[in-house]
């Protein structure tokens, strides 16, 4: 599967956003890497392409023909053994490794800020086995979403993982696990951390470990799979995973409602979940996003469930009960969402027109959500340059939900001579928005991310956000990766001030 091109290919050589401090790899190390059997390339164009992801800062630089950071070499292993040999060689020579899947991450997680090896895992592309009796799949880390779902659907009576991130076409199983990702149907199927049953991981010294996976809900000490879920490649390389699957559901129903206010809609969502109903999709949009996406002036709630017919009936009965005060909308609204939900083509024209466009997602308990919503929107709107700031609730659970803020700003005038405007001003505006929004989220006692993770962009916030447990994360990093070669500069570990 090929990744779609984000922006015009990099053709410039105008320097790097981050000084990697690298003097290149030695001929001896290059020879050792080649001897592993992995594909190895030091071609500059390939390295430039592989050294960025969907973080708007790296996209902005790529659009200017510039590079955020440049890996010394791109290595593409095709087996666990090759990954282990590559990592061992890097360990021997203290060479930084940045693991990468689809590079759809939006926080610069796979940007190689210290140069070294960009470890492209997309050749680990096999589905190892499907257990139709116990409902699990074992899959290599570089498999892209559509390939996994296609193979599951074609097996026996048909199965699904139920993990449908908006970036389905762009992202891999390893990236989902590394970032603790969420699919759009997470209220029924859970997030990726709920689906994982076991992992195979190559540690920073090149040794391989298998965690869990021998029986459900084991009480065999701490769950070590979860140590690597959300670690964003800082503790090891995930090479394969065993995940829970489901028979393709026999029934589906859709409903849509319009609420007078966003808070009224949040309250209805809370009550639905509280009664034990878990519709796969329960998404609520504020007035701005309802108008933009559906041409509706109230706050739109879309509901979709899929499961056994008896479960769907019961779920939708509870939904109807708890939304009786709202206006019933034509369920075609849900169809409109379904048909556009993975379409990201509207972003490129905004970037090209020099707008800064970004999304900030977070998770919080129900009690905090109305307040944090007001605070974050207020903070974003108060920053000079902001054109619009809006919000939707994207994933809901019994104890709280994910709020997903979008802001659009314009800080530099575009002239015909200077096609890409003033990148410094844009970065300053961008950082100011992130600082203000994250401060509001933190102050409300909420989690600074629900599914996009930390990467480079949120690294400066993590020590404060984790409080006393950040020291534990540092201890784990020191114990597992004492040479700090695995994905340096991420999760706020090591040098704090890189970005
Ligand atoms: C348009 C768009 C929509 C998106 N929608 C969603 C969404 O709905 N839900 C969601 O959760 N996310 C979403 N994202 C964010 C992104 O797709 C996810 O974070 C995804 O999980 C990243 O997967 P990837 O394979 O692209 O990983 P990459 O971007 O390549 O890597 C992400 C991080 O994981 C690490 N990593 C990757 N593979 C491995 C591995 N095998 N072992 C160890 N570490 C590894 C990298 O070092 C990096 O730190 C979206 C992104 C875009 C651009």
pLDDT digits (tens, 9 = 90+) for 129-155: 999 999 999 999 999 999 999 999 999
Is the pLDDT at 77 greater than 70, yes or no? yes
Q: What mean pLDDT do residues 345-371 have?
A: 89
Nearest CA to ligand 1 atom 15: 105
C-alpha torsion sign, points 55, 457, 440, 193 = positive
Mean residue pLDDT of the chain comes to 93
Q: What is the mean pLDDT of residues 380-397?
A: 97
Interval between CA 458 and ligand 1 midpoint (Å) = 15
pLDDT of residue 6: 46
In the chain, count H helices and then E strands. Answer: 18, 18
Pick the more confident residue, 330 or 354. Answer: 330
Cα 464 to ligand 1 centre (Å) = 23
Across the range 221-227, mean pLDDT stands at: 96
Centre of ligand 1 from the C-alpha of residue 443, in Å? 27
Q: Ligand 1 centroid to 357 CA: how many Å?
A: 19
User: Rounded to the nearest 10 degrees, how much is the dihedral formed by the CA atoms of 108, 114, 116, 118?
Assistant: 0
Are 148 and 127 contacting, i.e. CB atoms less than 8 angstroms apart?
A: yes
Q: What is the pLDDT of residue 60?
A: 81
The Cα 255–Cα 317 span in angstroms is 11
Please answer whether residues 340 and 407 qualify as being in contact, where contact means their C-beta atoms are separated by less than 8 angstroms: no
Pocket of ligand 1 (CB under 6 A): 53-54, 98-106, 109-110, 121, 141, 165-167, 170-172, 174-176, 178-179, 181-182, 232-233, 237-238, 344, 451-453, 455, 487, 490
Tell me: the pLDDT tens digits for 19-46?
Answer: 888 889 999 999 999 999 999 999 999 9
User: What's residue 416's pLDDT?
Assistant: 44
Q: How confident is the model at residue 5 (pLDDT cuts 50, 70, 90)?
A: very low
> What per-residue string of b and e applies to 178-201 under the rule 16 or more CB within 10 Å gives b?
bbbbbbbbbbbbbbbbebbbbbbb
Atom of ligand 1 nearest to the CA of 236: 43
Distance between CA atoms of 317 and 319, rounded to whole angstroms? 5
Position 12 confidence tier, pLDDT thresholds 50, 70, 90: low
Q: List the domains of the chain with CATH numbers.
A: 27-120 (3.30.43.10), 127-247 (3.30.465.10), 251-340 (3.30.70.3450), 347-443 (3.30.300.330)
The Å distance, Cα 109 to ligand 1 centre, comes to 8
CA 451 to ligand 1 center in whole angstroms? 9
Ligand 1 mutation target, pool 71, 175, 281, 459, most atoms within 8 A of CB: 175
Residue nearest to atom 47 of ligand 1 (CA): 99
Distance 172 CA to ligand 1 centre (A): 7
Decide if pLDDT at 2 tops 50.
Answer: no
- Provide the pLDDT for residue 371: 98
Q: Which of 7, 79, 82, 104 to mutate to test the pocket of ligand 1 (most atoms within 8 A of CB)?
A: 104
Pairing of strands 97-100, 117-120: parallel
What is the position in ligand 1's atom list of the atom closest to the CA of 181?
A: 11
484-498 burial: b if 16+ Cβ within 10 Å, else e:
bbbbbbbbbbbeeeb
Q: What is the pLDDT of residue 412?
A: 72
- Terminal Cα distance for the chain, rounded: 32
- Give per-residue pLDDT as tens, 176-216: 999 999 999 999 999 999 999 999 999 999 999 999 989 99
Ligand 1 atom nearest to CA at 144: 25
Q: What is the pLDDT of residue 342?
A: 77
Measured in Å, residue 382 CA sits from the centre of ligand 1 at: 30
Q: What's the sign of the alpha-carbon dihedral 74, 79, 83, 85?
A: negative
Residue 4: the pLDDT is: 41
Q: Which residue is it, tokens 């096609």?
A: 419
What are residue 440's phi and psi, to 5 degrees? Answer: -65, -40
Q: How far is the CA of 455 from the centre of ligand 1 (A)?
A: 10
User: Going by CA atoms, what residue is nearest to atom 53 of ligand 1?
Assistant: 104
The beta-strand segments (E) located in 109-250 are 117-120, 127-131, 136-140, 159-160, 196-202, 208-212, 237-244, 246-247
Q: What percent of the chain has pLDDT over 70?
A: 95
Cα 326 to Cα 264, 321, 338, distances in angstroms: 9, 10, 22
10 Å Cβ neighbour count for 144? 24
Protein residue with least CA distance to atom 14, ligand 1: 167
Residue nearest to atom 50 of ligand 1 (CA): 167
Q: What is the mean pLDDT of residues 426-450?
A: 96
Q: How far apart are CA 131 and CA 152, in angstroms?
A: 11
Average the pLDDT over 146-168 and give the result.
Answer: 98
Candidate from 165, 456, 481, 488 with most ligand 1 atoms within 8 A of CB, to mutate: 165
Residues 309/190, Cβ–Cβ less than 8 Å? no
**Ligand 1: nearest atom to the Cα of 347:** 1
Question: What pTM, to 2 d.p., does this model score?
Answer: 0.95
**Residue 414: per-residue pLDDT:** 56
Task: For residue 100, give the ligand 1 atom closest to its CA.
Answer: 30
Tell me how far apart the 2 most distant CA atoms of the chain are, in Å. Answer: 71
What confidence tier does 14 reach under pLDDT thresholds 50, 70, 90?
A: low
Residue 255 has pLDDT above 90, yes or no: yes
pLDDT band at 17 (very low <50, low <70, confident <90, very high): confident
Which of the four pLDDT bands, split at 50, 70 and 90, describes residue 13?
low
Percent of the chain past pLDDT 90, that is, above it, reads 85
1 pLDDT higher than 70: no
- pLDDT, one tens digit per residue, over 400-421 is 999 999 999 998 765 545 555 5
Rounded Cα distance, 334 and 286, in Å: 16
* C-alpha to C-alpha distance for 109 and 90, rounded to whole angstroms: 19
Tokens read off for 166: 């908006």
């Amino acid at each position: 599967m090929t990744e779609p091109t984000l922006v015009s290919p990099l053709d410039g050589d105008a320097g790097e956003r981050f000084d990697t401090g690298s003097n290149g790899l030695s001929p001896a190390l290059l020879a050792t890497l080649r001897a592993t059997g992995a594909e190895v390339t030091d071609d500059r164009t390939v390295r430039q392409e592989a050294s960025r992801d969907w973080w708007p800062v790296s996209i902005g630089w790529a659009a200017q023909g510039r590079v955020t950071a440049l890996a010394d070499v791109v290595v593409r292993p095709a087996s666990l053994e090759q990954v282990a040999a590559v990592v061992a060689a890097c360990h021997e020579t203290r060479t930084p490794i940045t693991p990468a899947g689809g590079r759809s991450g939006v926080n610069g997680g796979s940007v190689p800020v210290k140069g070294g090896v960009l470890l492209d895992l997309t050749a680990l592309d096999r589905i190892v086995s499907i257990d139709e009796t116990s409902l699990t799949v074992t899959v290599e880390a570089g498999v892209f979403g559509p390939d996994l779902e296609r193979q599951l659907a074609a097996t026996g009576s048909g199965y699904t993982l139920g993990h449908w991130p908006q970036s389905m076409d762009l992202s891999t199983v390893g990236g989902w696990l590394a970032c603790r990702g969420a699919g759009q149907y997470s209220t029924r199927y859970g997030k990726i951390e709920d689906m994982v049953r076991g992992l195979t991981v190559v540690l920073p010294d090149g040794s391989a470990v298998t965690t869990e996976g021998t029986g459900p809900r084991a009480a065999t000490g701490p769950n070590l799979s979860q140590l690597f879920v959300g670690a964003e490649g800082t503790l090891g390389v995930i090479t394969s995973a065993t995940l829970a699957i489901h028979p393709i559901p026999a029934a589906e129903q859709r409903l849509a409602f319009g609420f007078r206010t966003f808070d009224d809609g949040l309250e209805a969502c809370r009550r639905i979940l509280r009664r034990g109903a878990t519709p796969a999709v329960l998404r609520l949009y504020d007035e701005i996003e309802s108008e933009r996406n559906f041409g509706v002036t109230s706050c739109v709630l879309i509901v979709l469930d899929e499961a056994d017919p008896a479960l769907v009936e019961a779920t939708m009965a509870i939904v109807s009960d708890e939304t009786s005060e709202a206006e019933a909308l034509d369920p075609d609204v849900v169809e409109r969402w379904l048909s556009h939900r993975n379409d990201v083509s509207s972003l490129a024209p905004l970037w090209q027109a020099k707008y800064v466009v970004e999304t900030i997602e977070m998770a919080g308990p129900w009690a905090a959500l109305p307040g944090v919503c007001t605070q974050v929107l207020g903070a974003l709107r108060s920053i000079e340059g902001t054109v619009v700031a809006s919000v939707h609730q994207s994933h809901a659970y019994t104890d709280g939900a994910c709020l997903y803020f979008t802001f659009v700003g314009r800080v530099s005038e575009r002239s015909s001579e200077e096609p890409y405007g003033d990148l410094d001003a844009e970065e300053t505006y961008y950082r100011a928005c992130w600082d203000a929004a994250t401060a509001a989220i933190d102050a409300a006692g909420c989690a600074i991310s629900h599914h996009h993770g930390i990467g480079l962009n949120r690294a400066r916030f993590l020590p404060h956000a984790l409080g006393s447990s950040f020291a534990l994360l540092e201890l784990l990093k020191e114990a597992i990766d004492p040479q700090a070669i695995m994905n340096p500069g991420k999760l706020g570990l090591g040098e704090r001030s890189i970005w």
